[in-house]
Structure 1
């Protein structure tokens, strides 16, 4: 492992189960409002399900819809070009027939693991805090990380240290922020507890660790986005209905995901058609919670939509296109 060069890569997983890693340097930054460029080649019936940036020396945890977890090192994921389809995940993980990877997380193994937790959030608003040491001895066939109710699925996993504030956001534009210690550490077989009370038809799209002085970056299906100071999200008890995070309208579409940022990062967005754009986070306007935000990405194909977002280290823009004035 010491002979393998450490580098930051974009890890991409499709809904059909194809995964690949591509060096971050292959994606040049663009100005806000650009149209992006081809980031992956998918079949017509396939679409990108998840992506993030991580090191080749990081551990990659794969959580499936059955509540099991598998682990690989970043360099064990085959490297592919920017437009390549990738490798079917069944060639990398010993998943059972019908089992599907629903979430990925990366972490660096270090000292003091007994103080590290994985905070899991499901689509139906259930949360669970699992000590990382519970996953220390992973079999190649995977082990169970949580037990979910029928019809539920995992949507977000975050690494915490027992001192974090957790922010959960929904597709309909609601959010709740609470102390992670409101959720006691549980064993691998536990179901979890309620994290947010959902309105009818709504579902959780993501979770983040809230930190003072940072902003909550929200992105919608139709390419809108904004940053809102974390301080605008008051800390409450878990299990409540929350407060408005975004003014969701037909023009903006529902929320795709949220990230807590400090403005020094780059944002990577990927659409259903496989188009990927990279833009500076600090170019996205700061707005209040109940606003529509600004246009972050325009689409080449009618009917296309944003389906995933990730953060990467800052890179100077290679293109200086000046988009039209964005509506607020």
Structure 2
């Protein structure tokens, strides 16, 4: 019994000492966490211990430092052809490969355009966004290579938006762009406004429920034809469309009846012949009378 009592007393004493040590550690840790000076002392003490244990003189010598600097090889600028099929797979090929396969390339791809390999591609969508894509981020290779989904190399989301217009930044920045929406809002924007650093920027402001139907680069001799779901047509000179900032909504292009919206907008160059089918008959767009903006148009 005496031996058991002695053992229990010894165990209790050991537990009390451990408890006192724990309380002391807690007090020390609280001091370190609440006092920057105490924390700095701990860090310095530990760093000095590491230095004492592992520190040693440098064993290597840096010689001919200028020769050791490796300059990044400059990219040789050249013309390439951007190809994107109807599934959204894109790639670039050299001009010679395109010329050899021109007929197949034009038939099999939704978008075909020539650009510099150092340029960027502007992707305008029906949600009023413009996504920038570096040409160098696209796979460059053979004509029959599959390419990569456009969603993987820029902020474009094929589940949320649709392509409206694709062009190189060089082309966009050197032209004026005309914008047209389903609610018949029109405007012209200086392409220089789209020279931005952001990968995605608002290309235009949209009213609630509206969407972009067309974006096109203007050369200066175009007319614009609006066609509504109720088969109303209005052809106007693009010079009637005022130039606005990209952040503007625009002006009304055609007076629409209640419940009507535009289904198509066409941009015609001078002398260009274009026809559309309406209720089984062909309508020559280039023969429509050129009217005034913000009028009702004619039924076909």
Coarse TM-score class (shorter-chain normalised): 0.5 to 0.7
Q: How far apart, CA to CA, are the structure 2 residues paired with 1:127 and 1:111? A: 18
Offset at residue 67 of structure 1 (A)? 2.2
Greater per-residue helix proportion: 2
Report SS of the residue matched to 1:109: helix
Question: How many residues are matched?
Answer: 216
Q: How far apart, CA to CA, are the structure 2 residues paired with 1:112 and 1:87? A: 26
TM-score by length of 2: 0.57
1:61 is matched with which residue: 122, 139, 142?
A: 122
1:126–1:195 contact (8 Å) kept in structure 2: yes
1:155 corresponds to: 213
1:12 is matched with which residue: 80, 85, 90?
A: 85
Offset at residue 172 of structure 1 (A)? 4.8
1:135 is matched with which residue: 194, 211, 217?
A: 194
Matches within 5 A, 1:289-300: none
Q: How far apart, CA to CA, are the structure 1 residues paired with 2:270 and 2:159? A: 42
2:165 corresponds to: 104
Greater per-residue strand proportion: 1
1:64–1:99 contact (8 Å) kept in structure 2: no
1:34 corresponds to: none
Q: Mark the CA change 1:165 to 1:12 in structure 2 (over 3 Å): closer, same or farther.
A: same
Offset at residue 92 of structure 1 (A)? 1.3
Report SS of the residue matched to 2:113: strand
Residue by residue, what CA displacement relative to the aligned partner does 1:186-242 show, whole Å, maximum 9, x if unpaired? 11211111112334555434333333432113368x9x8957261x11111112232
Residue by residue, what CA displacement relative to the aligned partner does 1:152-196 show, whole Å, maximum 9, x if unpaired? 111110111455322223455433211223222111211111112
1:33 corresponds to: none
**Unaligned residue ranges in structure 1 (runs of 5+):** 30-36, 41-50, 245-289, 291-328
Cα RMSD after superposing both structures? 4.0
1:55–1:74 contact (8 Å) kept in structure 2: no
Q: How far apart, CA to CA, are the structure 1 residues paired with 2:198 and 2:157? A: 13
2:293 corresponds to: 238
Offset at residue 146 of structure 1 (A)? 0.8
Q: Does 1:88 align with 2:158?
A: no
Q: How far apart, CA to CA, are the structure 1 residues paired with 2:213 and 2:91? A: 21
Q: How far apart, CA to CA, are the structure 2 residues paired with 1:73 and 1:226? A: 41
**Unaligned residue ranges in structure 2 (runs of 5+):** 1-74, 93-97
TM-score by length of 1: 0.53
Offset at residue 89 of structure 1 (A)? 3.0
Q: How far apart, CA to CA, are the structure 1 residues paired with 2:153 and 2:260? A: 34
Report SS of the residue matched to 2:198: coil
Residue by residue, what CA displacement relative to the aligned partner does 1:48-107 show, whole Å, maximum 9, x if unpaired? xxx3332243753212344221223556544797795x6333311135897534422315
1:119 is matched with which residue: 178, 197, 222?
A: 178
Report SS of the residue matched to 2:151: helix
Larger radius of gyration: 2
Offset at residue 130 of structure 1 (A)? 0.9
Q: How far apart, CA to CA, are the structure 2 residues paired with 1:123 and 1:200? A: 13
1:228 corresponds to: 284
Report SS of the residue matched to 1:169: strand
2:80–2:114 contact (8 Å) kept in structure 1: yes
Report SS of the residue matched to 2:84: strand
Q: Does 1:194 align with 2:252?
A: yes
2:6 corresponds to: none
Q: Mark the CA change 1:89 to 1:11 in structure 2 (over 3 Å): closer, same or farther.
A: closer
Q: Mark the CA change 1:225 to 1:97 in structure 2 (over 3 Å): closer, same or farther.
A: closer
Q: Mark the CA change 1:10 to 1:240 in structure 2 (over 3 Å): closer, same or farther.
A: farther
